[in-house]
């Protein structure tokens, strides 16, 4: 749930101590520090072409200012793949472990083109 609301570095912390002097019961405490929330800064689309843009744009689930969501990235990937015009749809966050506040998420779309090996279209989402 937290990766759907822009918190990608959530950690589980736990502690335990005896609840009474007889040491027969324990108090266990769990904490979930969320870390820094990430947001989509802007959406960049390149290489899709005018004829494919009308089909692809409505299937994109990220919007500017929204929390960066792994769930929405995967939904976008599935929606684009389900169009049936792409052989491959890859999504990724560039430099996911980096400390910078702005992240770029990209979707690379590949479809067969007659007489050519592959056509590549790339969608980039910047988050910060």
How confident is the model at residue 116, as a pLDDT? 52
The three-point CA angle 69-9-81 to 5° equals 30
pLDDT at 16: 95
Q: Write down the pTM of the prediction.
A: 0.64
Instruction: Please state the domain extents for the chain.
Output: 2-31, 40-127
| CA atoms within 13 A of residue 104's CA, in its CB half-sphere | 10
54-74: pLDDT as tens digits = 777 777 777 777 888 888 888
CATH code 3.40.50 for 40-127: no
Separation CA 25–CA 105 (nearest Å): 47
Higher pLDDT, 82 or 49: 82
pLDDT in tens, 14-26: 999 999 999 999 9
């Amino acid at each position: 749930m937290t990766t759907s609301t822009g918190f990608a570095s959530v950690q589980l912390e736990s502690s335990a101590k005896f609840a009474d002097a007889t040491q027969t019961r324990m108090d266990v405490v769990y904490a979930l520090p969320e870390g820094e929330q990430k947001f989509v800064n802007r959406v960049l689309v390149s290489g899709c072409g005018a004829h494919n843009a009308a089909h692809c744009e409505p299937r994109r689930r990220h919007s500017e200012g929204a929390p960066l969501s792994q769930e929405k990235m995967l939904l976008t990937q599935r929606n684009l793949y389900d169009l049936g015009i792409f052989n491959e749809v890859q999504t990724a966050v560039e430099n996911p472990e980096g400390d910078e506040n702005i992240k770029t998420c990209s979707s690379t779309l590949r479809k067969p083109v007659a007489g050519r090996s592959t056509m590549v279209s790339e969608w980039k989402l910047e988050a910060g």
